[in-house]
Structure 1
Amino acid sequence: MAAERFPVQIEGRDLELSNLDKLMYPGAGFTKGEVIDYYTRVAPLLLPHLEGRALTRIRYPNGVDGAHFFEKNAPGGTPSWVRLETLPVPGSTKSRETIDFVVVDELATLVWVANLASLELHTPQWRVGSDPDLLVVDLDPGAPAALQECCAVAMLMRDRLSEDGLRAYPKTSGKKGMQLCVPISARQNAEIVTGYAKRVAEELSARVPGSITAKMARAVRPGKVFIDWSQNAAAKTTVAPYSLRAQPSPTASTPLTWDEVEAMATGASPARQFSAGELLSRLSTHGDLLADLLSPGPLLPDLLAS
């Protein structure tokens, strides 16, 4: 049976939506139409964080219970009005020298991406043509450690970064852990940013070795929070704020206040991920808690010279 298609026009762009009743999250009864509706409603806050960044999508054509694939290149049939940027991809697993990346700068492109069952949106720490303007601290708990322990480590990391004049902004990952996002000056390359993140992660690991690790080896992670400093490498991406995640129910990467992080760390509030609906309901109260990421931050200190 041919897929049902619905022509729509968004801000002067013509596109077709399809299979809106298809279940993307079968356990929650959440359809592709609801995925598109979610991304449309969160777009005013999400789009500024996607603008200018090469987008990696994780697509689930048959929902979260089916097969999925990562997609960096523009697929066949990409509308002519979608912004594409041809960028080098050294070390590509498919032996490609360049990829035509999709860049989501407008609502129509976001809706087009969502209609392709791109549930998860991941971006690098840099904008096209620039060095990194974000430092990302990814906090990954090894069971039995969980989000509560991540929140405790997040507060330690916040205070350590503050010593260097850096301000961190927390968000849940939408899965197990969380990230801290730090605006920095886009005048230092990825190697400098990664080196700084590694040094600070190792400092905290040495300070609290029973609870924190900065080592990649999975054998040392159980019961600890892994501070993944490697996320700042030029080839790495991080889930975008407000992105959905492919879980049994539709969770989303949700910006938090530091009061919420402290409450979760101390047990005053349950440490948990937030659903797409909960995130949307927070917007009227909180607005974009990550708005400061859109302005340049300071240069990182040169720890190697200290």
Structure 2
Amino acid sequence: MTAPIEVDIEGRRVRLTNLDKVLYPSGFTKAEVVDYYARIAPIAVPHVAGRCITFRRFPDGTDADGFFEKQCAQHRPDWMQTALGPGDRRGGIHYCRIEETAAMVWAANLAAIELHAPMALANDLDTPRALVFDFDPGPDTGVSECCQVALGVAAVLDSVGLRAWCKTSGSKGMQMYVPLNTPGATHEGAANFALAVGQVMERQFAHDTSTPLGVTTVMAKDARPGKVFVDWSQNAHHKTTIAPYSL
């Protein structure tokens, strides 16, 4: 393993370790992961700033089981910002906040390959800033089928004056985000709206004889073969989705 080094990032000192460690089976190393996050930070940070960020860490590489980490590490630098967010029975948890390039590089050095963000800002956890449709392809379906459903959802949103933007989910599906720029939005209201739109898609695709594709809003996995699951539950207060530009 390479010796630890310290780098200066916009006046912050960040210690980097084990940079030659392979984190992807193809040979992609931690150094390359760190380099990616350093380069993408100016674009990615605005999407995660001000939020309670959950890390999914892969210290033994992505071909091993990773783990989710909500509590910001006690050994974090003194400049690393935190925020109190949803916790457990013992109370809230202090999450890391990614507010600058140095913070993103520090997280990358922990092998926090995936960054997951909630819909709400840390200073107003009860008010989602976006509504999300999570399209999960069941067996015998894929991202192209998710795109078909997303186009149907976009048409429904357009009819009520809403716009949405899509991104891949980090796994095999895709997600669609609707900005909520008006006061009064709630997590429950967002989830109910997403469910209602998903149910509209269920009916529309069930009556569309031009395609065998089905849609479901039912959680049970045995309801998903040949269908795209519209996961409306991602709008719950405690849920997060993988952040834009996250590996």
The one-letter amino acid paired with 2:205 is V
Q: How many pairs were matched up?
A: 238
Asked if the contact 1:141/1:176 (under 8 Å) is kept, the reply is yes
Are 1:31 and 2:29 counterparts?
A: yes
* Structure 1: 5+ residue stretches without partners: 245-306
Match of 1:168 in 2: 164
| 1:174, distance to aligned residue in structure 2 (A) | 2.9
Provide the C-alpha distance between the structure 2 equivalents of 1:127 and 1:164, rounded to a whole number of angstroms.
25
Deviation, structure 1 residue 186: 5.1
Match of 2:53, SS state, is strand
Listed as ranges, the matches of 1:105-144 within 5 Å are: 105-130=99-124, 131-144=127-140
1:237 to 233, 237, 240: 240
Query: Root-mean-square deviation (CA), in Å?
Result: 1.3
Deviation at 1:185, TM superposition (A): 2.2
1:200 partner amino acid: V
Kept in 2: contact 1:57–1:70 (CA 8 A): yes
The residue number in structure 2 matching 1:11 is 10
Instruction: Give the structure 2 partner of residue 267 of structure 1.
Output: none
Measure, in 1, the Cα distance between the counterparts of 2:85 and 2:115.
18
1:140 Cα offset (Å): 0.3
* 3-state SS, counterpart of residue 113 of structure 2: strand
CA distance in 1, matches of 2:85, 2:57: 21
Do the aligned partners of 2:52 and 2:84 also contact (CA within 8 Å) in 1? no
Q: Quick check: 2:7–2:15 contact (8 Å CA) kept in 1?
A: yes
Question: In the aligned structure 2, how far is the partner of 1:88 from the partner of 1:177?
Answer: 26
Q: Match for 2:35: what amino acid?
A: D
Secondary structure in 2 aligned to 1:158?
helix
* Equivalent residue, structure 2, for 1:72: 70
* 2:53 aligned residue: 55
The one-letter amino acid paired with 2:122 is: V
Deviation, structure 1 residue 87: 2.4
Q: In structure 1, what is the Cα distance between the partners aligned to 2:97 and 2:182?
A: 19
TM-score, normalising length: structure 1: 0.75
| C-alpha separation in 1, matches of 2:245 and 2:154 | 21
Contact 1:132–1:186 at 8 Å: present in 2 too?
no
Aligned partner of 2:53: which letter? L
Matches of 1:132 and 1:120 in 2, distance apart? 21
Q: 1:217 is aligned with what amino acid?
A: A
Query: Are 1:61 and 1:67, in contact at CA under 8 Å, matched by a contact in 2?
Result: no
Q: Which deviates more from structure 2 when the two are superposed, residues 190-199 or residues 111-120?
A: 190-199
SS of residue in 2 equivalent to 1:14: strand
Contact 1:124–1:236 (Cα < 8 Å) also in 2: yes
CA drift of 1:156 comes to: 0.4
Q: 1:155 aligns with which of 151, 155, 164?
A: 151
- Quote the offset at 1:134 in angstroms: 0.5
In 1, Cα distance between equivalents of 2:177 and 2:22: 32
Q: Contact (CA 8 Å) 2:86, 2:238: kept in 1 or not?
A: no
Return the offset for 1:206.
Answer: 2.0
The answer on 1:226 being equivalent to 2:229 is: yes
SS of alignment partner, residue 172 of structure 2 = coil
Residues 74-98 of structure 1, C-alpha deviations (whole Å, 9 max, x = no match): 1131111001112242xx3xx3311
1:162-201 to 2 correspondences below 5 Å: 162-185=158-181, 187=183, 188-201=185-198
CA apart distance, 1:181: 1.0
Q: Take 1:228 and 1:159, find their aligned partners in 2: how far apart are those partners?
A: 18
CA contact (8 A) 1:104 1:110 kept: yes
